[in-house]
Amino acid sequence: MEQQTANHFFPILSGGKFYPVSLGRIVLAFYASNQKELTKYELQHKTNLTDDDIVNGLKFLSSLGEVTKSPTDTLTTTYFSFSTQGSIKSLENNIEKSRVVLDGLENILDARDTSNQSLNNFIKESIIFYSEVLDYIEIKITEHFNSKTFT
């Protein structure tokens, strides 16, 4: 998997934004590798990204808890690994952030008058739809991830 496509990776659960293509490539490099740890050089080779893209992507993914620096760093080489627990926590955090957005939509709906009932109904149905989707995703996160240990 040396050459990767420019598809966005998990856009639904990335804080309301698409992962930049560079982040998707970094995550996919970890997924596709049989190695538990990768160096910055190995990530560059697998993703064809620039050094700056790799450094910035690793910083961002580290801030989400999805990538960690290995405690086995040497003086000359830093190793990075994909954190399964951090990724699960990131999914859970994105659900919480999405619920905050839905709460905001409910407040907006409450403040609207009835002059555009069609839009009011759309907002109401959107809130119901996304709430149900988030409920389902929470159930599936618990079913597939929280009851298992990934080490």
Residue 2 lies in a domain: no
Residues 67 and 129 grouped into a single domain: no
Residue 111, domain member (yes or no): yes
What pLDDT, on the 0 to 100 scale, is given for residue 134? 92
Identify whether the C-beta of residue 29 lies closer than 8 Å to the C-beta of residue 66: no
Helix (H, G, I), strand (E, B) or coil at 79: strand
Query: What per-residue confidence (pLDDT) applies to 16?
Result: 47
Q: What does the pLDDT read at residue 151?
A: 59
Are 95 and 48 members of one domain?
Answer: no
151, part of any domain: no
Residue among 104, 100, 91, 102 at smallest CA distance from 138 = 91
- Domain span including residue 127: 85-146
Q: β-strands 67-69, 37-39: how paired? A: unpaired
Whether the pLDDT of residue 14 is over 80: the answer is: no
Q: What is the mean pLDDT of residues 3-25?
A: 56
Strand pairing category for 37-39 and 79-82: antiparallel
User: At 38, which CATH number?
Assistant: 1.10.10.10
Q: Is residue 4 part of a domain?
A: no
DSSP H helical ranges for the chain = 21-32, 40-47, 51-64, 84-111, 117-141
Q: Indicate whether 107 and 68 sit together in one domain.
A: no
Q: From the centroid of its chain, how far is CA 71?
A: 24
| Residues 98 and 131 both lie in one domain | yes
Looking at the structure of the chain, the number of domains it has is 2
Does 5 reside within a domain?
no
CA pair distance 67, 126, nearest whole angstrom? 33
Convert the pLDDT of each residue in 111-139 to its tens digit: 999 999 999 999 999 999 999 999 999 99
- Say yes or no: 56 and 111 in one domain: no
Tell me the pTM. 0.74
